[in-house]
Structures are given as C-alpha cells and as structure tokens.
Structure 1
Amino acid sequence: MKITNLTIVEEEIMQCLWKLDSALMREVMDALPEPKPHPNTVSTYLKILVEKEFLTIEKIGRIFKYSVAIPFVNYQNYKLEHFLNDYFDNKPTALVSKLFDLNLLSAEDLHQYFEIKTTVVPKIKKKIKKKSAMRNFVDELTEKKKKNKKRKK
C-alpha cells in the first residue's frame, strides 16, 4: 500500500470518509460542505480514490459502499514527513524553532508532553535602535536630577 498525495478535492472527500469510516454515495454527499459538487463529480473522485487505493469498494445491489483503506493517521504521517523534508530539510528541530518564532508553541505546551528538566528559552530577536547624538543630548537635558541620599550637615 503506497500512499500518494491527494488533490484538495480528493482530500476533502477523504476527510468526510475518515469521519464516517465507510459510506454510501448519498452519505458522502450529505457529509460534504456547501456548495456541494455535482453527484457525478463526487462519483468520479470516489473512483479515483479507489484506484489510488485509499478506498475499497463493495457492491450492494446496484449501489456501492466505500470503505477507508488508508487510515487518517497514516496519511497524516505521510504528509508530515513530506512537509518536514520539503520545508525544513528533514529537521524537526527547525520546525519547532519556527513554531516558537511564530508564537504558535510555548514552553508550557512542551511541558504537557515531556518532562523537561531544563528551561526552554526561545530565541528572541530584538531590534536595537541607536539613538542619535541629538536624542542623547535632549534626553540628558530633560532627565530628572538624582537626589543625594546622604546630605552633609
């Protein structure tokens, strides 16, 4: 069983079938979001998914029942491996770093899954603005004078 990429429409149909596990054509049509495609279009895509071995087919009288052959977890793993390879040079740490940079992942999130003995500190890039000589001069003039704690008697 070789997993291949699905088109957007094929994946949308598979999302419905992964939830249903198996379904007749009309059940797939009911599960699809609005605007619903034409039944002939859905039928064609179901045949393609059978050819790609994502679905198995069982004939019941004059109608067909479609069952999931590749579980969602297997497809998810396949997509994640390709995503890591294509966008992060197959380095999971680069993905985690990017998630930290975008504030989509925090140290607390990691603590839910791992017992971490060290503190996770994401890289923080701060832009340091250099003050001009004139700005420094104005700041110096407007700065409040420091009070002397010890007074001479």
Structure 2
Amino acid sequence: MKKIQHISNSEMQIMEYIWKTGRAVTTAEVMQNLPEGIEWSLKTVVTFLSRLIDKGVLKSARVGRAFHYQPCVTEQEYRNFETKQFISNVHKGSVLGFISALCDNGDLTREDIEEIEKILKKV
C-alpha cells in the first residue's frame, strides 16, 4: 500500500461518497452523487480521482469502457492518519497536549470524559 497523504476538502467530498457506498463506483456515479451545490465538470472530477489515486487512498480498475474506483483505506484509517498528523503538527506529537487543549477549552462534556476514561481503561 502506498503511504497515505493528506487530501483536500474537495477530495474528501468524493471520498465520503465512495466510502459510504461500500463498493467500487464509476466516474459517472461520482458525478451523479456530488454533494448538493457542487457542480464540477467531468474533467475536474477525473482530476480529483486521479489525485486520490496518487495520494494512496483510492485505486482504479478498468471494467469494459468505465473505470471503477475503490478505496485503498477505510474512512476510519484515513481519519486516524489525519488525527495523528494533527497531533504531530499542532501539538508536537503530544497526545496529552491535545487532550489538555480539549479540556482547557471546555469542549468536553461529562459524557465525553466518561467515554475517554472507558477507552483508556481498555488500553
């Protein structure tokens, strides 16, 4: 598997559709299922699909006259990658620094804290 790279917000919109389908999709399907308000040309969509392949999150196979696109990583694997990158870049790799920032902002609810405690007890 290629090393995963960060994807843009536009690329993420395409990937969210592909992950949601749970199967290989064609360019035409991607075009038909763009988020509301997005009106990209076929060339733009093909460019994004090509970039996603280059970034290691998507692969393609030609079936007849159409290309079928399928994820190389799950949505959770990609989100884990982005989270690790964020912690590395913003918090200098400190998970404790990340959690402290969440606590200091008051963004965590009592339920969030209880869930974190449960997760930590499993580790």
Shift of 1:113: 4.3
Question: Residue 57 of structure 1 contacts residue 67 of structure 1 at CA under 8 Å; is this kept in 2?
Answer: yes
Distance 1:54 1:100, change over 3 A: same
Question: Residue 29 of structure 1 contacts residue 39 of structure 1 at CA under 8 Å; is this kept in 2?
Answer: yes
Whole-Å separation in 1 of the counterparts to 2:52 and 2:99: 33
Distance 1:110 1:44, change over 3 A: same
Identity of aligned residues (%): 29
Paired residue for 2:21? 20
| Number of matched pairs | 115
Shift of 1:9: 1.8
Whole-Å separation in 1 of the counterparts to 2:88 and 2:51: 27
Structure 1 residue runs of 5 or longer lacking an equivalent are 116-153
Equivalent positions of 1:103-118 (< 5 A) are 103-115=106-118
Structure that is richer in helix per residue: 2
Question: Residue 6 of structure 2 contacts residue 55 of structure 2 at CA under 8 Å; is this kept in 1?
Answer: no
Equivalent positions of 1:41-52 (< 5 A) are 41-52=44-55
* Larger Rg belongs to: 1
Report whether the alignment pairs 1:3 with 2:4.
yes
Paired residue for 2:59? 56
Whole-Å separation in 2 of the counterparts to 1:102 and 1:88: 15
Q: TM-score, normalised by structure 2?
A: 0.81
Show structure 1 runs of 4+ deviating over 6 A.
Answer: none
Whole-Å separation in 1 of the counterparts to 2:62 and 2:80: 31
Whole-Å separation in 1 of the counterparts to 2:8 and 2:18: 15
Shift of 1:52: 2.6
* Relative contact order, higher structure (CA 8 A, sep 6+): 2
Secondary structure at 1:114 match in 2:
helix
Shift of 1:63: 0.9
Structure 2 residue runs of 5 or longer lacking an equivalent are 119-123
Alpha-carbon displacement from aligned partner over 1:56-99 (angstroms, at most 9, x marks no partner): 21222111111111111221111111111111121112212211
Secondary structure at 2:112 match in 1:
helix
After superposition, the CA RMSD in angstroms is 1.7
Paired residue for 2:95? 92
Shift of 1:42: 0.1
